[in-house]
Amino acid sequence: MQLLDRRTFLALTAGSAAAALARPAQAGLAEAQVFTADPFGGVVDSTVILGDDAAVLIDAQFTLPNATRLADVIAATGKRLETIFITHYHPDHHLGLAAIMDRFPDAQPVAHPAIQPKIAGGAQAMLDNMRAGQPDNFATRVVIPEALSSDAILLEGERIEVLEPMHGDTDLISAVHIPALDTLVASDFAYTGTHAWVAENTTPDKIDMWRASLSKLEAIGAGTIVPGHRSADAMNDASAFAATRAYLDQWEAALAETSTADDLRAAMMQGNEGLGLGFALDRAIGAVYPG
């Protein structure tokens, strides 16, 4: 693992974080770099996988400023962006796609065929909703990825494996495994140093489905784990699974033991005072206690 000089990337990305994560033990792919949005962009991770000449991007950011900074990071690699894979339909992972495509018009945006229709069906309404409140912070159009026709993306002959969608913070998410880099892009199955988006997981059966997905992903045994969202000091390793499990355990217990929104919030803040993505907790409490 090699971490790039932090000041270099802070200067490059104007407040966002990007770091080189993994270098392979043998020839194959050059490395993976992770770009993390600023807090306004939801500290969402995008992963840039680099070959000798070409690159693949996993997830395309949320706000226009963060997508623009991600495009700068990709441009700085000097690689040709070939493919952009979107892991799931939540807007923080793809509303920045138009800004990426403006800079790399030859790139092909794709999603798993089970997820592509969800993106196609919801993206415009999501963008309209965001632009109604913050017109300058979002792209002016949506780009809908095409359905991927294979279970892998090839980058210079190396397989980037698109895993079958499973239940995470929403019903269908495709994680991505890059064997040549010993790296798993876990997307929104895993959160580190932030509240998790549990608004769609308010019952024990759903929470159990999420836990089962974590077990399957952890069993892959990848050395480098990229969570969907992170704090600035988060590690890129399997501790992301334990952190997410602990948050789900606390959430399930808090749901069972409280009966008001205030008590649920107090139970979830216990020990979590420093976590980012506070709006995720607000929305989760709102899902349990509407109005």
**Binding residues for Zn ion, per CB under 5 A?**
90, 92, 188, 228
3-class DSSP assignment, residue 90: coil
Smaller CB separation from Zn ion, 65 or 228: 228
- Beta-carbon contacts of 184 under 8 Å, excluding residues fewer than 6 positions away, are 175, 176, 177, 178, 217, 220, 222, 224, 225, 226
Report the alpha-carbon distance of residue 262 to residue 266 in Å, rounded: 6
The least CB distance from residue 191 to Zn ion, in Å, is 9
Report the alpha-carbon distance of residue 94 to residue 232 in Å, rounded: 21
Structural contact between residues 181 and 24, judged by C-beta atoms closer than 8 angstroms: yes
The least CB distance from residue 60 to Zn ion, in Å, is 12
Structural contact between residues 1 and 21, judged by C-beta atoms closer than 8 angstroms: yes
The least CB distance from residue 276 to Zn ion, in Å, is 12
Smaller CB separation from Zn ion, 82 or 92: 92
The least CB distance from residue 280 to Zn ion, in Å, is 9
The least CB distance from residue 87 to Zn ion, in Å, is 9
Smaller CB separation from Zn ion, 68 or 194: 194
Secondary structure percentages of the chain, helix, strand, coil, to 5: 40, 25, 35
Report the alpha-carbon distance of residue 114 to residue 117 in Å, rounded: 7
3-class DSSP assignment, residue 122: helix
Give the H or E element holding residue 102.
helix 97-103
Smaller CB separation from Zn ion, 109 or 228: 228
Task: Return the number of other C-beta atoms located less than 10 Å from residue 8's C-beta.
Answer: 11
Smaller CB separation from Zn ion, 145 or 228: 228
The least CB distance from residue 246 to Zn ion, in Å, is 19
The least CB distance from residue 174 to Zn ion, in Å, is 13
Structural contact between residues 178 and 161, judged by C-beta atoms closer than 8 angstroms: yes
Tokens of 68: 């623009």
Report the alpha-carbon distance of residue 134 to residue 8 in Å, rounded: 30
Smaller CB separation from Zn ion, 92 or 182: 92
The least CB distance from residue 273 to Zn ion, in Å, is 22
Smaller CB separation from Zn ion, 54 or 199: 199
Smaller CB separation from Zn ion, 65 or 168: 168
Tokens of 271: 């020990």
Please choose, from the candidates 277, 286, 281, the residue with its C-alpha nearest in 3D space to the C-alpha of residue 44.
277
